[in-house]
Amino acid sequence: MRDVPDAEETFEERAYSWLASGAAETVAEGLIFRKQIIVDPKDVIDDTRRQIWSFFQRNPDHEFTSPPGAYCAVVMRNVVNEVLRGFKETPLEQQPNELDLTNDFVAPSDLGGGFTDQLRSAIETAGHPDWVTAAALNFVTLSAYPGCDVSDAPASKAGATPNQARLWPSLWFAGRRDGLFPGPDGGGAAQRKRLSRTGAAVQGLVDEAAQMVGAGAS
């Protein structure tokens, strides 16, 4: 049975509660990593809270269709994009026409650069746990920008496929770290199984979002 929010708790209150959670900081850190900018995640969260408060003041009767966390994540992404505009004169989101996202799905070339934005939006609003969403967004970024500095994250073993190589840093920068990644000895069977399960959840969300976007464009 799904948890039903307290009837007296408004969408605004739930949004503020999410912004005060560790999940919000994880999403902010992931966005900062993907944009490769230097800014305090707490500043991003504070700016997001101000923008949301301002929207609620102007639109007190607005009806939301997405969960509070998904809505806040979209606003947070816009905040980070605004910060990036202050650092760069070039247009945002100059993406390649195609992204090698999974072994079975390659973005149709006729979708153009807007595909990545659509894919991120589909991931953000799919309603998955915050860490899965953050890791999937990281995965998309590394697919589009393979030159991102991921040296702080553990590296997958030699012979890994490109997708497997992306999954490790995607999970690491989404905050999934403790005991997840095998050491030089390859780790135990239970650890490898846990890593495989965790990576499959992220890959599944990317596949789901890619199929949704692809179907919408056909």
- Which has more confidence, 187 or 114? 187
pTM: 0.51
Structure tokens, 79: 């905040």
Rounded to the nearest 10°, the torsion over CA 149, 151, 153, 158 is: 110
pLDDT per position as a tens digit, 151-172: 888 887 766 777 778 888 889 8
Average pLDDT of every residue of the chain: 74
pLDDT for the residue 110: 29
Q: Residue 150 above 50 pLDDT?
A: yes
Distance CA 73, CA 210 (A): 19
pLDDT tens column, 17-28: 989 988 788 778
Contact assessment for residue 102 and residue 206, using Cβ atoms and an 8 Å cutoff: yes
**What is the pLDDT averaged over residues 82-111?**
41
For residues 164 and 154, give the distance between their C-alpha atoms in angstroms, rounded to a whole number. Answer: 12
Contact (Cβ atoms closer than 8 angstroms) between residue 182 and residue 196: no
pLDDT, tens digit (0-9, with 9 covering 90-100), for 39-60: 888 999 999 999 889 888 888 8
User: Could you tell me the pLDDT band of residue 16, with boundaries at 50, 70 and 90?
Assistant: very high
Helix (H, G, I), strand (E, B) or coil at 72: helix
pLDDT at 119 > cutoff 70: yes
- Residue 66: predicted pLDDT: 67
Q: Tell which residue, 145, 132, 111, 149, has the closest CA to residue 207.
A: 132
DSSP 157: P
Q: 216 pLDDT exceeds 50?
A: no
Q: Does position 111 have pLDDT exceeding 50, yes or no? A: no
DSSP letters spanning 85-137: HHH-SSPS----S--B-SSS-B--GGGTTHHHHHHHHHHHTS---HHHHHHHH
The type of residue at 102 is T
